[in-house]
Amino acid sequence: MKALIIATHDGQQLDPTLANVITAALPLATDGVAVLVVGHNVSALAQQAAALAGVTKVLQADAPQLAHPNAETLARQVTALAAGYDWVLAAHSLVARAALPRAAAQCKAAWLTDVIRTAADALERPAYAGAVIARVKPLGAQTFLTVRASAYSAAEVAAQAAPVEAVAAVDADTRTQVLGTESASSTRPDLARARIIISGGRGVGSAENMTKLEALADHLGAAVGASRAAVDAGFAPNSVQIGQTGKVVAPELYVALGISGAIQHLAGMKDSKCIVAINKDPEAPIFQIADFGVTGDLFEALPQLQSGLPAA
Ligand code: FAD
């Protein structure tokens, strides 16, 4: 059994979730894990991938037309190389969710998303916002899947780097062209990788009050998250929404302030290692999954948290 992992990157750095996807691939790939790096002038990125433990080979598709591949071009490149691989994997990112189903269709392969457990006998993925875990056994010859990176530990750096092999680049699909990408800049840690997340819900009351949570986050070196109700009310940007239709996170510490704990919110954070909830309603469902709960006003608790916890 062989696996091919599609690495995603911003041209400068590999997305660190690659290390988690390698861990996800290992139980499936008894005969080796190859990583595909697609782009232009990406030899340094290919070397970074080759340095990760568990990788047996890196394929580098490097050409000017691959500098900013659209989903169709990336799918075309994956399809060109997928033969012979039983499993084709990527982290559950926007890029992979656009490109991989196209490639799976072209290869007539099975397609699974957001897998949280990989084993030779069956795979597991959440359904109904995490209320149900589906066990799935692919029956075809080839399966494409995205994996939830936060469900897996990151592969370590290898003692010896794997070989890097240049592969033929495909022509770009010219029906659309990516002109460039702009990412929001923030001094806070990225939500997907933050060790601590301070998250606010409708109970925070206003965008102005949200800055009090941000101050606590900065004190702790944490990222800021929000419930959908808080985002819809304009307290926080859409990019920090956590839940079924937002980001899925699993930090070491998740502090939920003024969040009731709707199932759609829990779908995005219930795998956090330690959950602290502060809510004035003792019946709030968030307390059912919280490791530590405070029944009370979050605005009374915030200053105490800030003065009682050491700064990062
Ligand atoms: P509320 O449910 O209104 O809870 C506010 C809480 O704040 C209450 O428990 C209240 O007791 C507490 N509170 C108020 N004032 C204070 C105070 N001063 N101190 C302490 N506590 C206080 N939601 C998400 O979060 N993420 C998603 O991705 C998401 N996707 C969805 C997808 C679909 C298809 C649907 C239908 C819904 C989705 N939702 C999602 C919405 C979800 O159902 C809830 O409506 C939402 O999570 C509620 O947000 P909340 O807990 O902030 O607000």
The arithmetic mean of pLDDT across residues 154-177, rounded, is: 96
pLDDT at 185: 75
The arithmetic mean of pLDDT across residues 175-180, rounded, is: 87
For the chain, give the longest Cα–Cα distance: 61
With beta carbons less than 8 A apart as the criterion, state whether 3 and 88 touch.
Answer: yes
Of the candidates 306, 301, 300, the residue with the CA atom closest to the CA atom of residue 216: 306
Condensed to tens digits (0 to 9), the pLDDT of residues 17-45 reads 999 999 999 999 999 999 999 999 999 99
Rounded CA separation 152/116 (Å): 8
All domains of the chain in start order, with CATH: 3-166 (3.40.50.620), 196-308 (3.40.50.1220)
Condensed to tens digits (0 to 9), the pLDDT of residues 292-303 reads 999 999 999 999
Q: Note the ipTM here.
A: 0.99
Distances (CA, A) of 81 to 146, 167, 228: 17, 9, 40
Condensed to tens digits (0 to 9), the pLDDT of residues 80-107 reads 999 999 999 999 999 999 999 999 999 9
- Position 48 confidence tier, pLDDT thresholds 50, 70, 90: very high
pLDDT at 39: 98
Condensed to tens digits (0 to 9), the pLDDT of residues 101-140 reads 999 999 999 999 999 999 988 999 999 888 899 999 999 9
In this predicted structure, the answer to whether residue 47 has a pLDDT above a threshold of 80 is yes
Question: Hey, which residues does 274 pair with through a beta bridge?
Answer: 253
In this predicted structure, the answer to whether residue 184 has a pLDDT above a threshold of 80 is no
Q: In the block, which residue shows the tokens 């405070």?
A: 294
pLDDT above 70 covers what percent of the chain? 100
Number of the ligand 1 atom closest to the C-alpha atom of 297: 19
Pocket test for ligand 1, best of 208, 227, 304 (most atoms within 8 A of CB): 227
Condensed to tens digits (0 to 9), the pLDDT of residues 217-275 reads 999 999 999 999 999 999 999 999 999 999 999 999 999 999 999 999 999 999 999 99
The CA 25 to ligand 1 mean position distance, Å, reads 35
- Position 178 confidence tier, pLDDT thresholds 50, 70, 90: confident
Number of the ligand 1 atom closest to the C-alpha atom of 229: 49
The CA 217 to ligand 1 mean position distance, Å, reads 20
Interaxial angle between packed helices 298-308 and 207-220, expressed in degrees from 0 to 180 and rounded to the nearest 10? 20
pLDDT at 200: 98
Spell out which residues line ligand 1, taking CB within 6 angstroms: 201-203, 227-230, 241-246, 258-260, 262, 264-265, 268, 278-281, 284, 297-299
Q: CA 115, 113, 53 angle in degrees (round to 5)?
A: 50
